[in-house]
Structure 1
Amino acid sequence: MNRIDKLFSEKKQNVLNVYCTAGYPKLDSTLQVLNALQQHGADLVEIGMPYSDPLADGPVIQHSGSVAIENGMTMQVLFNQLKDVRKNGFDTPLILMGYMNPVLQFGIENFCAAAESVGVDGIILPDLPMYEYETIYKQLFEKHNLKFIFLVTPETSEERIRKIDTLSSGFIYAVSSSSTTGNNKAIGNQEAYFNRLQQMDLKNPILVGFGIKDKATFQAACKHTNGAIIGSAYIQALNAASNVDLVTKDFLNKVLQ
């Protein structure tokens, strides 16, 4: 069973997915961050693959990506870093999040094969159109046992959400507002949107992202969904980290306890 499926079969509520940027704050930080997140309570880990034009990312994650690129992070470096991660006791579901341009440059078949070989469970590519996924790439992701996760927003029509639900696997990423990551819009104001998704009785679990930063916003997002995704707030915490493990422990404790 795919690790994402296993997670949601065992845990229906308060699922915490934490986003980190590969190669940040230092090139060799990736595995330290993954292990700290697993040890201190993350249910899922989403690794951002740095890209020079990240459309959905706010300034904090954009900056972390720029630093990672300057550090020397590339897709091949990331796969090299991850090649033994599953052999060394990391069993948390792992998602790669990025954009189509670098994936196409790497070669999408090579990308999927490499992701499967290092134990990646799911992929998020916000700029891959649903039609192209369905008609060109769906079988390729399925061949390599990679869940493909689509995003929905408060403006997404019910018809499109239901179509996404038929195509998605793993979970649906519910963007809390039509903005970039790290926004300060109040999650509590989106309760009607989250409730609408809940009432649709979709087959996929729902995780809320964008604007989740602490215990209050995490709990608000979880009230009508299966869990939430924290990104920018954790990246900011890492920015000043002299000890990745201690900073991660402190950050997650404040969210979960």
Structure 2
Amino acid sequence: MSRIKKLFVAKPSRVLNVYCTAGYPKLNSTLEVMEALQENGADLIELGMPYSDPLADGPVIQASSSVALDNGMTITVLFEQLKDFRKRIHVPVILMGYMNPVLQYGFERFCKDAAAVGVDGLILPDLPEYEFETEYGAVIRQSGLDFIFLVTPETTEERVRKLDQLSGGFLYAVSSSSTTGSNKNMTDVNAYLKKLKGFHLQNPVLVGFGIKDKTGFDAACEHAQGAIIGSAFIKALEGSKNLQVATKSFLQSVVGNS
């Protein structure tokens, strides 16, 4: 059983997945931020691989990606940083990024290297379902990685069920058709999440995009297994002199002292 599956067995509700950008705020901040997240209540870490043209990301995460790229972060550097991270990090870790840099690195090589260091899964928003089924899915599975698809309020039931079948670990429910960090009234999302819940999907559902505080987290957890927070956490790190303190303060504001 994968680490992600074990997490949802052990904790079937109120799962908190926090996104951070590799190489932000400093090139060598990656593991420090991951450790701080693990120590202060994050159940799962979504590690963003910075890219110059991140289609699904809002201005906050785009800005953090620009800083990380300027710092010198690349996939090669990231895997070097993650070489022994499992000695310190036990929560599941997912790499989130875009196909262009992964293809430049070499897709099969990328999957093998990710699995070798201890990464659990991938989110690649611009990998289409057809290409996943016909080409890339087999490579991902051969490396023992989970792959997480995104669904939106506009995704048809038929397609939601198909993407649920193809996904491993969990299904990423985008709260609205927008970029990350967008303001979203969670009451507008409830009907959508109730509908997903009624589908009785095989994967747990985590809600992302626009969730930034305890109110949003609690609302998401009413109808899903948990939530994903990204832009609000990146904002909390901006200009911080102490990443540990900033991370602890932010996560306690979301989940309390647990």
Q: CA deviation at 1:240?
A: 2.1
1:28 aligns with 2:28: yes
Q: CA deviation at 1:139?
A: 1.3
Amino acid aligned to 1:138 = G
Q: Provide the secondary structure at the position in 2 that maps to 1:207.
A: strand
Q: What are the ranges of 5 or more consecutive residues in structure 1 without an aligned counterpart?
A: none
Taking the aligned partners of 2:173 and 2:245, their CA distance within structure 1 comes to 30
Taking the aligned partners of 2:65 and 2:90, their CA distance within structure 1 comes to 25
Amino acid aligned to 1:60 = V
2:240 is aligned to: 241
Identity %: 64
Q: Provide the secondary structure at the position in 1 that maps to 2:95.
A: strand
Residues 77-99 of structure 1 show CA distances to partners (whole Å, capped at 9, x for unaligned) of: 00000001012x21010000000
Q: Provide the secondary structure at the position in 1 that maps to 2:85.
A: coil
1:196 is aligned to: 195
Amino acid aligned to 1:98 = G
Taking the aligned partners of 1:135 and 1:187, their CA distance within structure 2 comes to 36
Q: CA deviation at 1:189?
A: 1.3
- The 5 Å alignment of 1:1-257 reads 1-87=1-87, 89-257=88-256
Amino acid aligned to 2:238 = N
| C-alpha contact 1:188 1:217 (8 A) present in aligned 2 | no
Q: What are the ranges of 5 or more consecutive residues in structure 2 without an aligned counterpart?
A: none
Residues 53-103 of structure 1 show CA distances to partners (whole Å, capped at 9, x for unaligned) of: 00000000000000000000000000000001012x210100000000000
Q: Provide the secondary structure at the position in 2 that maps to 1:250.
A: helix
Q: How many residues align?
A: 256
Q: RMSD over aligned Cα, in angstroms?
A: 0.6
Amino acid aligned to 2:6 = K
Residues 205-227 of structure 1 show CA distances to partners (whole Å, capped at 9, x for unaligned) of: 00000011000000001100000
Q: CA deviation at 1:177?
A: 0.3
Q: CA deviation at 1:187?
A: 1.6
Give the TM-score of the pair, scaled to structure 2.
0.98
Amino acid aligned to 1:17 = N
Amino acid aligned to 1:95 = I
Q: Provide the secondary structure at the position in 2 that maps to 1:242.
A: coil
Q: Provide the secondary structure at the position in 2 that maps to 1:223.
A: helix
Give the TM-score of the pair, scaled to structure 1.
0.99
